[in-house]
Amino acid sequence: MKTLLLFVAWCILFVLAWPVAVLALLLFPLVWLLALPFRLAGLVLEALFALLRAVLMLPARLLGHRG
């Protein structure tokens, strides 16, 4: 559904201002490549916090707490 809405928005932009739409289409891969390290860093931080939470909750789980 998100892809369809993005495509419809791009079509509307293409009708209203086609040079901007073509520029957006050409710059999209560059923006994706620039955002990739930040997405990977977010993934690593999310995994780190999940590990930290699991280690901190281990004593409670061993004592039988169901959370």
**Calpha distance 28→24 (Å, rounded):** 6
Tokens of 52: 């930290």
The tens digit of pLDDT for each residue in 7-61 reads 999 999 999 999 999 999 999 999 999 999 999 999 999 999 999 999 999 988 8
| Cα 35-39-45 angle, rounded to 5 deg | 145
What residues contact residue 30 under an 8 Å CB cut-off, 6+ apart? none
**Calpha distance 15→55 (Å, rounded):** 54
**In this predicted structure, what is the pLDDT of residue 67?**
62
This prediction's pTM: 0.59
